[in-house]
Copies of this chain bind each other. A is one copy, B any other.
Amino acid sequence: MSQNRVVILGAGFGGLTAARELAKYADVTLVDRHNFQTFLPLLYQVSTAGLAADHVAYPVRGALRGSGVKFCLGSPMMIDHKNKSVKIDSGQVLEFDHLIVALGSATADFGIKGVADFSYGMKSVHEAIAIRASVMRHFEDLCRFPDTTTCELTVVGGGPTGVEMAGAIAELIRGPLRRDEPSVASRMHIRLIEAGVRLLPSFNPKLSERTKLDLEKLGVEVLLETAVQEVTSNSITLGSGEQIASNMTIWAAGVKGSPAIHALNLPVERERLAVEPTLQVRNYPYIWAIGDVSGALGADGRALPMVAPVALQQGKWVARQIKAVMNNAALAPFVYRDKGSMATIGRHKAVVEVKNFRIAGPIAWLVWLWLHLFYLLGGRNKVGTIADWTWNYLTFDRANRHIIDEL
């Protein structure tokens, strides 16, 4: 009887990496609710008309071609521990010897009123297309009123996601929209709200300061030490009780482990799966959790950040661990190697921090471009993205301004 059936839930950075690694010595089935992987780090460029939506998606079956890994479209419903199987909403029951949970993350609203109903998340192609449509529709709405009506756009959350989004919206307004209708574009305001004392809290304070200045130069109003109490369709109530106008609110203030884990009835801690240092889910040595959904701790005892590099490293790691189990070898604790962080603010502007090495400006921007292209799945997406970027760069235009959200 073979002991090498592995089922992987989620085809994101972690799940897909694990699948490819395990394919050599295991019978692997990869499950995802989409038939494509979404390249989340570039989603904000779809939201702001810089990239074609199809370029940040890649068919999972294309990525698995020749590997022998099977793909199953669906979401997990429940785990049957007795028979070691997982039931998929498509009706399929997948038996496993090892189960890897790599379901990723969802927008966290921290219970703040109105966030779920009135703000846009940044976790899927669908949301990106919806944000793009909403920004462009607000622009068209303003075009109808040759008066002083304004449109207030707010991004909440001063981490890399929020910073990149705010910068890209500012460039969209200052660039193509201003060329379309100068008097209208000047009535669209973009604001970035952060609860902490500085932007990019995980970076060196000097880069935080530089980022703030760069964003302000682009026309972004940056509010620090500003909490959000409630979001409505056209306003935000701040921690101070003050209510400010916000015709469109984008929520980049937090993520949590995918809510899909609750259906699986596994131990959850702080909205992520409770795991041993080996990445095995607590009490379930044949179930592993990697990526955003995994509550693995770093060397400092704090939960690891929900970023792609962690998922990629854990995907490789878990494959080695499962191989060790098959060979009755000893398991080892996962150690995250932080290779640094980066964020782009706009044309020629980015910040990169690798250990004590920090750069900002055009070179950081080129590093950012190169690394994102490198990790983008598929030659076609790379070529298409290079074409889009080159076009945007040379023409200062954004050609994907289409309102295509009501299917």
Contact = CB atoms under 8 A, between A and B. Distances in A.
A311 interface: no
A404 B125 CA distance: 8
A97 interface: no
A65 B402 CA distance: 16
How many copies the complex holds: the figure is 2
Interface string A394-407: 01010111111111
Contacts of A144: 72, 90-92
Interface string A376-407: 00111101100110010001010111111111
A242 interface: no
Contacts of A136: 35
A61 B180 contact: yes
A336 interface: no
Contacts of A118: none
A179 interface: yes
Contacts of A388: 380, 384
Given A380-B397, A380-B399, A404 B57 contact: yes
Interface stretch (A47-55, A201-209, A225-233, A326-334): A47-55
Interface in A117-144: 125-126, 129-130, 136-137, 140, 143-144
11 contacts: A35-B140, A36-B404, A52-B52, A52-B54, A54-B399, A59-B402, A126-B404, A129-B404, A380-B399, A381-B399, A387-B387
Which 10 interchain pairs have the tightest Cβ spacing? A52-B54, A380-B399, A73-B140, A36-B402, A61-B180, A59-B401, A52-B52, A380-B391, A57-B402, A54-B400
